Structure 1
Amino acid sequence: MTASNIMASVATEQAQDRVDILGIPVDRFTFDQTLEVIDRFVREKTPRNAVTADSSAIIAAQSDPEFREVLLRADLVTADSAGIRWAARRKGMPIVERVSGVDLVDALCARSADHGYRIFFLGAAAGVAEMAAEALRLKHPGCNIVGTRHGYFPAESDEVVASEIAPYKPDILFVAMGIPRQEKFIARTQSIIQAPVS
């Protein structure tokens, strides 16, 4: 199967299994299906944007055109709140389970130990990402966390920070800088960092 066929297959699968919540398409994948999609993204090595959206993200997108566009262009948008699941159920398209960012970080660190995924953490105050990385290394021996960096910098420095991260060649970039800052950072710097999953 060619890369374009794989991309078309993913796009078709997602289009058939998404629910529109206030104009934002949210994937209805289970947690395990989400991990399978992310595994595929890593294997394909094409930069992809995965968003774990809670209700506040959907609301923020209503009044922030840039953020709305980021969500509309995202390759994967999971339901990270009971509110989104409730809205999907009301539309007759229930989402089986919440797929949270915290749970994905843990599961993907476990997968990193098994598959060698290179992971980078960006966010929080100085030292916090390092502590999180160390805790995850202890929990998942072999977890391949290749770097960390604090998330306290102005948007004007996004490209500079992205250039600092790029040499680490992460397969997965976790960004924790708050909604919508983190999603905007990923969208603005995806072409620089080139991580298969951010």
Structure 2
Amino acid sequence: MTGLWRTVRLVLLALVAGAYLVFDYLASSSSQPPLYAVLIGAAPLTLGVIVACWNSAFRLPAMLLCTGVLLAVALNLDRLLSHAAWLYFFQHAGIMTSLGIMFGSTLGSHEGALCSRIARFASADPLDARYLHYTWKVTLAWTLYFAASAGISLLLFAFAELATWALFASLFTPLSLGLMFGGEYLVRLRALPGQPHFSIAQTIQSYRKYTQCRDAAD
């Protein structure tokens, strides 16, 4: 029964993710997208901002500011719809740039690289220098990936058709992310035989533990 419920959950998650990607494409590829597509497409970022404001050390002013911004958006929906593509461009390029900076800023040492820190949370045993050198290279690879994604997003938005940029941002980006995760896992199996190996789910869980410990330390 547990296995059936897990399968059902995965199918539902896949359907929701697929629907979101479709709405995201519809909203970002049109100069005048339907309101429902924009609202659904912007929902994850909006919820993320609200959660971040709620968890902020300055909760009250942050939530007041967030409420003010949402109110301003609600009062200017027509203007937002006519510039929805710019909203999605800044969202996509901003996320890629932020992630690139987050990964790249930790490349100063093998031990301090972001993927090395995450791997230490995932492994019950200490990681040797060879493993940490590998995770440093993985951190570099993710840095280059996010930098390239941000650059391509900018070039396509500036010089290509809007539909082409929307296809890259809404469909190619999540597919390439999956390929990066899967490809790195296969490379790790060959590069580090006999070493601890973690699934994508374990990596995500370890990253959550790392961010929780970092936030607690701050």
**Alignment TM class, shorter chain as reference:** under 0.3
Return the structure number with greater strand share: 1
Return the structure number with greater helix share: 2
Give the structure-2-normalised TM-score. Answer: 0.26
Higher radius of gyration, 1 or 2: 2
Give the structure-1-normalised TM-score. Answer: 0.28
